[in-house]
Amino acid sequence: MSNSINTKSKKVLVIGLGQLGLPVAKYVNDKGFDVYGYDINSESMLRAREKIGIKTTTSFRNFDIYIICVSTHNPSDISSPQIEGLISVINKISMEANNGSLVSIESTIPLGTSKKIFELLEHRLHVVHAPHRWYSLEEEKYGVNQLRVIGGVNPCCLKLGEEFYTGHSKCGAQVFPDDEFVNNYNGQEKTDRSTQGPSTFIENSFIMDTTQINSQGYSPSLEIPMHTVSTIEIAELTKIIENSHRYLQIAFAEELYLYCQANNILFSELRDALNTKWNVEILEPRGGIGGHCLPKDTKMFLNSSKVRSKILLSAMEVDSLYRDFMTRREKKLITSVENLKN
Ligand SMILES: NC(=O)c1ccc[n+]([C@@H]2O[C@H](COP(=O)([O-])OP(=O)(O)OC[C@H]3O[C@@H](n4cnc5c(N)ncnc54)[C@H](O)[C@@H]3O)[C@@H](O)[C@H]2O)c1
């Protein structure tokens, strides 16, 4: 089995064909890979066939790469994380996928999820996390091929992931022949490979072999610039902290808005004045911090630590006060319009 993702005929399955998965599938297809799509929702599969012309399938067999773009929020409360859907996808991959394939998680996930997934896959598949920064309102600039972060469970996972995304690997991991990798795991044989070769296998983990730097370029690839991090946890944290940071910025704008309302100050004028300074960027508060990304990802970050972030908890409180204020104001407006009519 090959350890390099270096041919155009590689079969890729994009799982989850929603707001993110659809442009991802289109991009990978445009790059010349043999792309299939799967979604739990048959209408999403139909849309993928009609809109971007990819094939769809319900079988997870015989793919080289699995890109996971499923939702990770609770369907009945979009501001709360839920990874049951993701886990069910992983169980299906575990049952049907070939040893040594690559699983790239592009969905936003709680800290520690990637390693759990690697365990569920019984260490038979390579796992990387390449969280997305896709922004629907500015797809040209912040689309699929913008700079992203990538981390791997093991150096061999990272090597395959880097090859797939960028075309080359900066990682010096020596990747064992996959059959050997799998036989060893299946036989529960934890061998110290330092006696057999240059890499070491300890507790089912690979230690990077820096003597085996891979200077070979791989082509074609997705040609996406990637920032490599040394652990998959850093990749997981990067995404949820990015969005927590954005949450804070919006909450601050909401608080300023409430301040202006309470003190009879024109918010727009104050904001314009503040934003003339080179290092100040006060955002415009709108209808509250909504959608299925910022609130959920901020909760993922909050839940990732035993020490709860005071500043984020306060930001959530501010957002709630701001929403209450906006709802009361809207109600007042409706009442006054109705009074005017009568
Ligand atoms: N939309 C964005 O701008 C954006 C940006 C960065 C990261 N993300 C992250 O990407 C992930 C997907 O987001 P999205 O906006 O595409 O969500 P979405 O709700 O638009 O799409 C998710 C898709 O996953 C499918 N799905 C859910 N469970 C499934 C399962 N078990 N098997 C197969 N398909 C399943 C749904 O049917 C849906 O089509 C989330 O983790 C989100 O936080 C989204």
Note the pLDDT of residue 319.
98
Interval 97-108 mean pLDDT:
98
Low-confidence winner among 18-27, 57-66, 164-173, 182-191 (lowest mean pLDDT): 182-191
Interval 109-126 mean pLDDT:
98
Ligand 1 centre to CA of 266 (Å) is 39
Tens of pLDDT, residues 268-319: 999 999 999 999 999 999 999 999 999 999 999 999 999 989 999 999 999 9
Query: Could you identify the atom of ligand 1 that is nearest to the CA of residue 108?
Result: 41
Asked whether 62 lines ligand 1 (CB < 6 A), one says: no
Instruction: Assess contact for 157 and 208: CB atoms under 8 A.
Output: no
Class of domain 239-341: mainly alpha
Ligand 1 centre to CA of 86 (Å) is 10
**pTM (two decimals):** 0.86
Note the pLDDT of residue 183.
44
Task: For residue 97, give the amino acid letter.
Answer: A
Note the pLDDT of residue 9.
76
Low-confidence winner among 83-97, 212-226, 295-309, 316-330 (lowest mean pLDDT): 212-226
Per-residue pLDDT for 179 more than 50?
no
Q: Mutate which of 39, 71, 108, 109 to test ligand 1's pocket (most atoms within 8 Å of Cβ)?
A: 71
Tell me the CATH number for domain 11-229. Answer: 3.40.50.720
Domain with CATH 1.10.1040.10 in the chain: 239-341
Ligand 1 centre to CA of 237 (Å) is 18
Cα–Cα distance measured from residue 260 to residue 115, given in angstroms and rounded to the nearest whole number: 47
Report strand pairing: 73-74 vs 77-81: antiparallel
Cα–Cα distance measured from residue 60 to residue 78, given in angstroms and rounded to the nearest whole number: 28
* Residue (of 237, 240, 247, 258) closest to 316 by Cα position: 247
User: Which H or E element spans position 202?
Assistant: strand 200-202
Share of the chain above pLDDT 90, in %: 76
Note the pLDDT of residue 83.
98
Share of the chain above pLDDT 70, in %: 84
In 28-161, where do the E strands start and end?
34-38, 55-56, 65-68, 73-74, 77-81, 102-105, 126-129, 148-152
Low-confidence winner among 195-199, 202-206, 246-250 (lowest mean pLDDT): 195-199
Cα–Cα distance measured from residue 247 to residue 320, given in angstroms and rounded to the nearest whole number: 13
Domain with CATH 3.40.50.720 in the chain: 11-229
Q: Mutate which of 14, 26, 60, 70 to test ligand 1's pocket (most atoms within 8 Å of Cβ)?
A: 70
* Residue (of 308, 317, 293, 309) closest to 240 by Cα position: 293
**SS3 of residue 183 by DSSP:** helix
Mean pLDDT of the chain: 87
Q: How far is CA 219 from the centre of its chain?
A: 24
Note the pLDDT of residue 192.
35
Interval 98-125 mean pLDDT:
98
